[in-house]
Each structure stands twice: as C-alpha cells, then as structure tokens.
Structure 1
Amino acid sequence: MTAPLRSGDPITVDVALAGRAYDIVIGRGLLSGLGQRVAALRPGARVAIVTDEVVAKQHLPAARESFAHAGIATGLVVVPAGEASKSYPVFERVCEDLIGARIERGDLVVALGGGVIGDLAGFAASAVRRGVDYVQVPTTLLAQVDSSVGGKTGINSRHGKNLVGAFHQPILVVADTALLDTLPPRILRAGYAEVAKYGLIGDSEFFAWLEENCSDIFAGAPAREHAIAVSCRMKAQVVARDERETGDRALLNLGHTFGHALEAAAGFSDRLYHGEAVAIGMVLAFGFSASLGLCTQADAERVAQHLAAAGLPTRIADIQGEPPTADRLLDLIAQDKKVKRGRLTFILARGIGQSFIAPDIDAADVRQFLTGQID
C-alpha cells in the first residue's frame, strides 16, 4: 500500500484491458464535468440515464445539467430503489425503455446510482441491440470501489444473487466522492466492507492503514479518495489479469460466498444490505479458515473487531429476523457461481492480506462451522 494521500486534482486509474481499456476518474465535484468527459469520449452520441427514484431526487438534476451544458441530448429511465430492481421484470422494462428512447449502438447508457443500478443498467446495455456502450457514475462507496469496475453486470434469480448477467465493460467510470456525502450512514458503512476487503485479500499494510484511518474515510477527508483509489487500482490489476473470473479474479469474492447466501436468506431486502452481508461473510471466511488451521484465531478476531468498529454487522445473529439454518445456507451456497460440478469453492485466508482460492471444500465442514455460528 504505497500510494500517497491525495487531495485536489482527480486521481485517474487505468483499467488496462487490451483493446478495451478505460479510465476510472476519482475526485470531488466531478459530476459537473460529466457531460464534457462524455462528449470528448464519444462525440455526437446521445445518452440515456438509468437511475433510481432516490438518486434521481438527489443527483439527476446536476447530471442532466452537465449533459445539457455539453450539448448532449438525454433520455431517462427511473426504477424503484433497492435490490428488488435487479429482477426480470425491471430488466425487461429498462431494455424496452432504452429501445423506446431510440438508443442506438453508437449511443451511450449512463448508470447513475449504486451497485444495483450499475448491475442492472450494465446488463441492459449488454443486451439492447446486442450491446451498446455505457458509462458508470457510481453514487455509493460500494459501487465506487467495487461494482462499477470490472464489467460484471446482472440481475438476481430466485435461486440466488447475480446468477443471470454478462461481462460488459464500461468505457468510463466517474467516481465523484462528494456524492457520498449524501449517503445515509448505514449505506456508507456497508460500502466500507468492500474497501476493507482489498486489504484482507492481498495488502496487509492497507488493512493496517484502514484500521488507523477509517473515521477519516467516513468524514470525507482526503483519506476517502486515497482508499477508493487504492481499492480501484487493486481491482483494475486483477481484472486486467483475469477479466472473466477464470482464475484469480475469484479472490475478489472474499466474503461473498457466505454473504450472498445470507442476502438470499434475508430475501434481498433491507434486512441486510450487500456490504453488510459481505462484512459478515468475511468474518465467517476468516473464522472458517481459523477452524481449518489455515490462519490464527487472532487474525480472525482482528477482522471482526475492525469491521465492528466501523459499525458493520459481524455475526449471523446481527441480521434482523429469524436466522437461517445451516442447511438453508448450504443450499444457497450450492447455487454460488464459484461452485464447479457440485464442488464447493471458498475464498479463505492464511492471514491478513493472504487470501487464496480453496476448491473442493467439504460441505460437512461448512455445515459444522455454520451450525456453531448460528446456535
């Protein structure tokens, strides 16, 4: 973790994909210049903005003004806020509205919102007219450090999260960190789980830095831009090596195998936000690793203590409502995209910053561990 703290000028992170490289631009106040960036990148293109009802009230007027100032005509698709919009009916509606707006292959879709909007709009862009380009304008911390980068798009199935989708890379990501100032504290904290994830995957120094600077990230100090930039650089490097998750990109799913199952068990509702599920999932991943003798119990406790200090849930018991059974969670884990021919794959850890892909995990070991976490 070597990048210095930055303030003032935007930070640009390159996602170096052969023939499809794009920039992630990070800084405060970038929304006002969005239209000019798009006009320079795609002269003459029309734009359709896809957003949700909450973001539309907060940030849509500034986005449309930016496009108008750049002389770009905009269409608009507004969907309900929340995970429930990552569904077949809403996906169909977005596609039909984009076609109805006469968005052509040379035009652009702009995803203005959090992870739900980025996944939904990106998937619609991948499908309409067999693929149009899109720009990510993430408005949550989770989206700025994770879901807006790397081209994973999709919707949820009744069998689990993100099981229907496509890899479709954006042509630009504009992360205006000032937009995070409007987030409810719970949503901001949920996004922080994905920041901590990067330290836990492969950068123990970054995790230690987060332990010291977490409060400054929440306060909007220069530490916020620094943490986002470090996270994006790490993800960009992994995506450039393994765009379609056939190898070590799966490391980015630390905490997600447990987390996605917990989200599904909670009905993809505000009982448990995605970042909160990832926080619990990472604690479970380190706890499971410790139970297998892969890492120390002290490391597992350190992860739980830091995430709890950041205001995140760290136990299954922290989820509102009736807890799922171990068997129910195992059924949901079996639908995970990392399962190969019925064999369970987890991202486990040998220590802080030492995560690895662990195939062929015995389901009986997982059931025994989860039973101990629920009882």
Structure 2
Amino acid sequence: MEILEKPINGKNIKMYIGSGLENKINSFMEDYGKNISFVSYALKQLYKSKINAISSYKSFLKDGESSKSQKYVNIVIKKLINMEIERDNSVSYIGGGTIGDLIGYSASVYKRGVHLIGIPTTLLAQVDSSIGGKNAINFENLKNAMGTFYNPDVIFADVDFLLGSDPALLRDGIAEAMKMALVKDRRFFNYFTSKNLNSIYNRKSLEYVISKSAKIKLDVVSEDFFDSRKIRYLLNFGHSIGHAIESYTENRVSHGTAVANGMILESYLAYKAGFSEPFYETVRDAVSAYGIPLLDFNTIETDKLVSFIKNDKKVENGKLNMVMLKGPGQAEIGEIGFQQMRMYVNLYKERSTKGNH
C-alpha cells in the first residue's frame, strides 16, 4: 500500500493506493461517527463481498451522465436529511466519476459541507476525477455547467475494483492517465508507448499508473486549486474538445474516448497555430495502440462542435485558452480564436478524408 499526502487549499489530502483496503476504509469512517455510502448499482453484484465488507449504511444509485443532475442531487440531499447526517459525520461514494461528481457536489452544498470520503472504483476516477476537488453536475445538455471546489478528506484507490472490470472502462482511464503524462512527464508517456492494455492489466502496473497520475495531479492542483492562475488548465488537455464531443453526441461517446480524441485534435490545432511540431500523429498512435476508438470527425458538424466549445470555462474575451502540446511532457496555455479553430478543424477533416490523419 502506498500513501500520498498533499496540502491543498489548507487541507491535508490523503490518498491510499493498494488492494484490500476495506479495513482502512472502515477505520476512517468510524472517526466521523455516522456515515452513508452512495454506491453505483453497477457494482452491487460484481463486487458484492467487497462492498459488504465496508461497514457503512449503503444507498445504491444509478450511475452515468444522466445521474449528474439536480434531480439526483435532490434525491441525495433528501437521503442525508432523513438519515440525520450532521456536519461532523461523513458521506462517501463507491463508484466511478459520475457518482463521484454527484456525491462530491451534494456533500459540498449539504449544510455548507460535510466530510467526504472518496472510494473511486474505475481507473478513470482513480487517476483523475477523484483527485483535486472539482465536483459538477450537468445542466440540460451542457456538461459540468454547475459545480463546486470541494476536496474529500481521503481517497481510497483500491485496484481490486479494476481487476475483472470492463476493458472499455480501463481504456477510459488510460486516456486520462496518458493526458497526465503528455502534459507533465515524458518518461511516463514513454512507459505507455512501451506497453499495451494487456501488459498493464495487473495489480503492480495499475498501482504504478495510479500513483504516477495522482502525484502529477496533486502537484498541479496544489499550485492552483481554484483554476485562477491557469496552471490547472494543463489538466484540461483534450477536454475542451472532449466535453464538446460528449455534448454533441449526448454522451453516446464515453468520457475517456472523447478526451482521447480531443487530445488528438487539440494537438493538431496546436500544430496549425504554430505552437508545436506535428506531434498529433504520435498522440493518435498512442491512443490507438490501447484500442481506444478513433472518431471520424467528418461525421461531426464543425459549427455545432465549436458552439459547444464556446461554453468551455476557459473561454475569455471570445477566445479559448487551450492546452498547446509541444511534445511529451511539454505543454503551455495559448489562445485560439473560434474562426481560426473552425478553419483548422475543417482542415483536419479534409486530411482524414484523404487518408492523412
């Protein structure tokens, strides 16, 4: 078991990475007295014995993007009220990124904040969404339109939840871990290019990927918790276009696939805007090697895609502050106008039509 600690926004955040963490989880829950765990329905049978070993009261919820809504926030808050959860008690989630978003947001607004324990069960959540204190729900078809900054007290990344999971969920997590490597750690990116999904699918390798990703994210977030200095923007590589893809497809494309394809297209935009060499092909090849689906952007209307990007939180003065990838482990923030973006997206689509991705 590895323990990571980082002071963030005046709070010392702990993260445990390992397997068989049930006893440690129970110990933390006891410190807060009463606890309620909101658990993804998808895990109810798949990890029944492991979930039963966690000794909190459990409420099962549907997961997926549709649960990130005010309707589900109301359901959660009503449950907390009925359970008479007080500010000194704790709320926990056992599930992936959408359950984490929903419960993190609810915990932050209930009585202006109750103790939060994160038990992420997907690779994507363990390497990324459970860390950093960003919680959000969707509004109509706009992803993460409402949210808060609210850190969990502790995060438990138990790799037992990953062994036997859907390969598609692992690919989603690989996309986010690869993002960390691309913006901050060349050697970590080289690790991915020397491996494949099968060779990473074991306890030791998964713990390594989680640890490396978590350290990168904790370091970046500790410098810019509220996204006010644009340092944290680096962690949004692939997300400006990725979130737009999710909105465009009404979440028929998974988050990891959307972000992976967003990384490819954003790398191409950075190249066309003069920020980098044509590194987008390397990104595309790395993504493809893990079996992450490559989208055909010719099936996506450029104007509609850009209209979703205009709602990105990194838009200032009519321009997008986009992560410009210069090479593995090298990234900076640069501005790109929407007319320029439309032109480059259409050029990328033309290259794809001709077979030059």
Q: Report TM bin, short chain.
A: over 0.9
Measured after TM superposition, the shift of residue 57 of structure 1 is: 2.7
Measured after TM superposition, the shift of residue 344 of structure 1 is: 1.7
1:233 paired residue among 210, 215, 230:
215
Amino acid at match of 2:14: D
The answer (yes or no) to whether the contact 1:113–1:138 under 8 Å persists in 2 is: yes
The answer (yes or no) to whether the contact 1:155–1:162 under 8 Å persists in 2 is: yes
2:42 paired residue among 42, 51, 54:
54
1:6 aligns with: none
Q: Do structure 1's residue 99 and structure 2's residue 103 form an aligned pair? A: no
- Percent identity over the alignment? 32
2:325 aligns with: 349
TM superposition score normalised by structure 2: 0.93
Q: Do structure 1's residue 252 and structure 2's residue 240 form an aligned pair? A: no
1:284 aligns with: 265
Measured after TM superposition, the shift of residue 159 of structure 1 is: 4.8
2:337 paired residue among 359, 362, 368:
362
1:11 aligns with: 2
Range with bigger deviation, 169-178 or 203-212: 203-212
Q: Within 5 Å, which residues of 2 pair with 1:298-317?
A: 299-317=279-297
1:80 aligns with: 62
Amino acid at match of 1:123: Y
1:65 aligns with: 53
Deviations 1:235-283 (A, max 9, x none): 0001111111112011100000000000000102xx2110110000001
The answer (yes or no) to whether the contact 1:213–1:223 under 8 Å persists in 2 is: no
For residues 189 and 123 of structure 1, what CA distance do their matches in structure 2 show? 26
For residues 368 and 154 of structure 1, what CA distance do their matches in structure 2 show? 31
Describe the SS at the equivalent of 1:367. helix
Q: Within 5 Å, which residues of 2 pair with 1:155-234?
A: 155-215=137-197, 218-234=200-216
Deviations 1:105-151 (A, max 9, x none): 01111111000011100000011112101100000000000000010
TM superposition score normalised by structure 1: 0.89
Measured after TM superposition, the shift of residue 103 of structure 1 is: 1.0
CA RMSD in angstroms comes to 1.7
Q: Do structure 1's residue 143 and structure 2's residue 125 form an aligned pair? A: yes
1:3 aligns with: none
Q: Do structure 1's residue 27 and structure 2's residue 9 form an aligned pair? A: no
For residues 198 and 274 of structure 1, what CA distance do their matches in structure 2 show? 15
2:353 aligns with: none
Amino acid at match of 1:278: V
Describe the SS at the equivalent of 1:99. helix
1:37 aligns with: 28
1:267 aligns with: 250
The answer (yes or no) to whether the contact 1:160–1:336 under 8 Å persists in 2 is: no
Measured after TM superposition, the shift of residue 169 of structure 1 is: 0.4
Measured after TM superposition, the shift of residue 308 of structure 1 is: 0.2
Amino acid at match of 1:210: F
Deviations 1:58-104 (A, max 9, x none): 3355334332xxxxxx3333221211111121111111112111111
The answer (yes or no) to whether the contact 1:33–1:66 under 8 Å persists in 2 is: no
For residues 12 and 125 of structure 2, what CA distance do their matches in structure 1 show? 19
2:303 paired residue among 311, 327, 338:
327
For residues 41 and 198 of structure 2, what CA distance do their matches in structure 1 show? 29
Q: Do structure 1's residue 340 and structure 2's residue 316 form an aligned pair? A: yes
Range with bigger deviation, 23-32 or 174-183: 23-32
Amino acid at match of 1:36: S
Gaps of 5+ in 2: 351-357
For residues 221 and 178 of structure 1, what CA distance do their matches in structure 2 show? 8
Gaps of 5+ in 1: 1-9, 68-73
Range with bigger deviation, 101-110 or 252-261: 101-110
For residues 11 and 339 of structure 1, what CA distance do their matches in structure 2 show? 38
2:355 aligns with: none
Deviations 1:278-303 (A, max 9, x none): 00000111111122232222x21111
The answer (yes or no) to whether the contact 1:217–1:227 under 8 Å persists in 2 is: no
Q: Do structure 1's residue 117 and structure 2's residue 99 form an aligned pair? A: yes
